[in-house]
Structure 1
Amino acid sequence: MANINNKDAPSLEWINTLRKRFPTEQEIDRILTRKMTNRSGPEYVPMSVSSLVRCIESLLESEIGSDFDIEDAKWLSGGASKLQLSFSLRWKPRNDEYEVHPLVLRMEPAESIVETSRLREYQLIKAFEGVVPVPPVYWHDAEAKHLPYPALIYGFAEGVTKPAKAKSGVSGLGTHLPSDLQKKLAPQFVDHLAKIHTFDFRDKGLTAFDIPEVGTTQCAEWGINWWERVWEEDCDEDVPLMRLCAAWLRDNLPVLDRASVVHADYRLGNFLFTEEDQCITAWLDWELGRIGDRHQDIAWTTSRAFASFSEDGKTLMTCGLMPESEFLAQYEEKSGLIVNPRTVHWYKVYNDYMMVALTLGTGYRIAKGGKTHQDILVTWLMGIGYMLLDEMRSLIEEAP
């Protein structure tokens, strides 16, 4: 705890102490270590579109040569964690005629509310092409050799995250869908999750992922080590309930029965659909994805934070689409996998712990340090952390 008052300029000794104390996946360790070693560096400084385009040009020249043009570059709004710039690329992807593709640059700020790997995000999206709807992904600059911060470039997918007339809160929370849309989207929603969890991920180029050992608690240990390390790195407030929760999670670690790809943010608001035919066209935000326990997704998707009531106001609908019992029954039928309620409950506590670490710990740290382009939003999100703490307490009290 010697560095408790110097987390804005952590020593290499303290960083290495945390690495040894909280062992996790190699790529997660790399990005968290990078975050800490860069923390004493400069604050986030807004950059011009033209300067960023020059960086994109450098990346593309290394990938496809110089025969291309970038047009219509502009910032995209929204998102608490990443900077996004849209542009059109005029190039010859098939070495014959020029084509124009609408693309998006997705890039870290100086420090994000959630530090993740652009390489892992790139590999996951690439692996799921043709399995579930995903946007096309093209290139990455995971080491920031060309761009100011790590980034990837992916293509636009058609669709919307909510009906044109629907109202919602931040990140799609509180979206109410009409019943006819629920009936069309719900089967696709369950089917895609089943396909993700039963996907044979081996030999699919997921080199940035470690695979936890089935029949052990390694997967859960890696997870809690990840987020307890983040809490220790970023928090400036002693919250006894966080220490109690970490201890409870370690005392009740679930055994992994099957290793699956976990999306880790599978919910309403993170997929696109077309309003005319009501088909899901792309799953977004794979940045927290891991190879782990499918129950993590089940716990996240069935969270009350993403639920809404049916039109009659009587039935709580999972992600605004269907009753939880129906969701779980359809999932088991389509995936052929059993849902263990005790493991789901553990991951509900785990998910809350993660979100408190990000809101009360990381959100505070990056806003205080001027490291993010979304300082107002992440400061607002800190208020949610205390509600999550109370939910976490209740879940521990109710644990089977």
Structure 2
Amino acid sequence: MTALGRGRDELFHEERVREFLEERGIGSGPVSAERIGEGQSNVTFRVRRGDADLVLRRGPRPPLPPSAHDMLREARILAALAPSGLPVPEVLAVCDDASLLGVPFYVMPYVSGEILTDREPAGWDDPAARRAVSEQLVDTLVALHAVPIDEEPLAGIGRPDGYLERQLRRFGGLWEGVSRREVPLVAELGSWLATRVPVPQRRSVAHGDYRLGNLMFARPAGGLPRAALILDWEMATLGDPLADLGYLLATSAEAGAPTSVMQLSPVTRLPGYLRRDELAERYAAATGLDLSRIAWYEALALWKAAIFCEAIRTRWLDGERPGDASFAPRLDLGVPELLEQAHDIARGA
């Protein structure tokens, strides 16, 4: 395979990656790689070197927004979560030298499994498998939110107090820097959210992008699907666990409900998958948390998603993300639609 891209920020460079792996005693011989995944943010490669089967995860090409695509921080979070028993990727090696690929990256073992998006694996279309996927989706989130966070190293990955307020300030301040158009609902929703911030009932690890598409499933012969890995920890921190649940509910695809560009696993519209209210009920039963204000968290999730998607659209329009040509044009209408859905939730609340 030839190098992908040219110059200091090329996405992958076989010889530099080979040298990096050689220095750390990972595999032997030449390197081959192929890009995998459908992420709209960071870039992932499956890398083979001798008997080593690996995944390399890196950010997109620079320039990068401040604090975004921080692979070094993501690797630290995964290492901190490793003793928890959660299905998180194992970090084998971290590269903080941006001269190799233009940005830092880390390497983990390749794990075989299924990620559900717009199709189901063969034989997974029975009601029991679909229900198991939905239940695993909730139960894995419950397990994440139950991990103790008061001791290092997890205590050092974030500041849970004031998490919601910081989210509002951070995303509210991003719009003008990432957009080229006027969309009054951004400020209107930001004001609505800011005047109604709930008091968190608990502090926990908050994944920040918890949805079906960020879970990998395995299914043993004769068994039901089980969560094998939780992926994409770039936005993880310590905060209010209901922010994760609100995001999961707001971005879950459901038959008869409005669609959006953030429903990245439309397969769950099929019969047998749990509906949003059923997902919420299972989470509440397991955690004992009061979900009477979950609509606020759903509106927050869609408002944040709209701002994040606007940044993707603008970078694509500026020629910085040519690889997003299949997704970014949908954001012309997709971003206002996300804001309208958030507005509808706010009015209903």
Normalization by structure 2: what TM-score? 0.81
Tell me what 1:121 maps to: 74
> Hey, what does 2:5 align to over in structure 1?
46
1:37 match: none
Counterparts of 1:156 and 1:309 in 2: how far apart (Å)? 34
When residues 210 and 87 of structure 1 are mapped into structure 2, their CA distance, relative to the original with a 3 A threshold, is same
Tell me the CA shift for residue 242 of structure 1: 0.7
- Report deviation, 1:296: 0.7
Instruction: Indicate the residue corresponding to 2:286 in structure 1.
Output: 334
Matches within 5 A, 1:98-117: 100-109=51-60, 110-111=62-63, 115-117=68-70
Higher relative contact order (CA 8 A, sep 6+): 1
Q: Does residue 17 of structure 2 align to residue 56 of structure 1?
A: yes
SS in 2 for 1:264: coil
Q: Which residue of 1 aligns with 2:233?
A: 286
Cα distance, 1:246–1:165 mapped onto 2, change above 3 Å? closer
For 1:37-83, what per-residue CA distance to the aligned partner results, in whole angstroms no more than 9, with x for missing partners?
xxxxxxxx924989612332454456x26984343322335221122
1:273–1:279: 8 Å Cα contact kept in structure 2?
Answer: yes
Q: Which residue of 1 aligns with 2:253?
A: 307
Match of 1:230 in 2: 174
Within 5 Å, give how 1:11-30 maps onto structure 2: none
1:182-197 to 2 correspondence within 5 Å? 182-197=130-145
3-state DSSP class of the match of 1:291? strand
Q: Over residues 112-171 of structure 1, what are the superposed CA-to-partner deviations in whole Å (9 max), with x where a residue is unaligned?
A: 69933212321232233352212222223356253311322222112111399639xxxx
- Quick check: 1:73 aligned with 2:73? no
1:364 equivalent in structure 2: 313
User: Could you say if the C-alpha distance between residues 133 and 338 of structure 1 is closer, same or farther in structure 2, counting changes exceeding 3 Å?
Assistant: same
Cα shift at 1:282: 1.1
Distance apart, 1:189 and its partner CA:
2.4
Instruction: Return the offset for 1:234.
Output: 0.9
Q: Paired residue for 2:153, among 181, 198, 205?
A: 205
Over 3 Å counting, the alpha-carbon distance change for 1:208 and 1:370 in structure 2 is: farther
What amino acid is aligned across from residue 380 of structure 1 in structure 2?
P
| 3-state DSSP of counterpart to 2:290 | coil
**Matched position secondary structure for 2:101:** coil
The residue aligned with 2:296 is 346
Gaps of at least 5 residues in structure 2 are 257-267
- Taking the aligned partners of 2:53 and 2:29, their CA distance within structure 1 comes to 12
Residue 299 (structure 1) shift: 0.8
1:179 matched to 2:127? The reply is yes
> What amino acid is the match of 1:46?
G
Structure 1 contact 308–320 (Cα < 8 Å) conserved: no
Unaligned runs of 5+ residues in structure 1 are 1-44, 91-99, 168-175, 311-315
- On the 8 A contact 2:27/2:52 being kept in 1, the answer is no
Aligned to 2:46: 86
Distance (Å, rounded) in 2 between the aligned partners of 1:70 and 1:101: 11
1:374 to 298, 308, 323: 323
Aligned equivalents of 2:86 and 2:324: distance in 1? 34
Name the aligned partner's letter for residue 120 of structure 1. R
Q: Which amino acid aligns with 2:116?
A: K
Query: 1:226-264 deviations in whole A, cap 9, x for unaligned?
Result: 212321221111211111111112111222232111112
Q: Secondary structure at the match of 2:280?
A: helix
The change in CA–CA distance for 1:145 and 1:210 in structure 2 (over 3 A counts) is: farther
Alignment deviations for residues 182-227 of structure 1 (CA, whole Å, 9 cap, x no partner): 23333332221111101013334247632122xxxx1111111221
Q: Does 1:386 align with 2:330?
A: no
Match of 2:163 among 207, 219, 224: 219
Identity of aligned residues (%): 22
Matched, 1:240 2:184: yes
Distance 1:210 1:66, change over 3 A: closer
Q: Equivalents in 2 of 1:211, 1:300: separation in Å? A: 20
CA deviation map 1:57-112 (0-9, x unaligned): 454456x269843433223352211222221244xxxxxxxxx2211111112256
Aligned CA distance change for structure 1 residues 207 and 56 (closer, same or farther; 3 Å): farther
User: Would you say the 8 A contact 1:137–1:153 is kept in 2?
Assistant: yes
For the structure 1 residues 366 and 163, does the alpha-carbon distance in structure 2 shift closer, same or farther, using more than 3 Å as the test? closer
| Mapped contact 1:177–1:321 kept (Cα < 8 A) | no
SS in 2 for 1:341: coil
- 1:322 match: secondary structure: coil
Alpha carbons of structure 1 residues 115 and 392: separation in structure 2 relative to 1, 3 Å: same
Match of 1:38 in 2: none
Change (3 A) 1:371 1:133: same
Give 1:253's match in structure 2, choosing from 193, 197, 202: 197
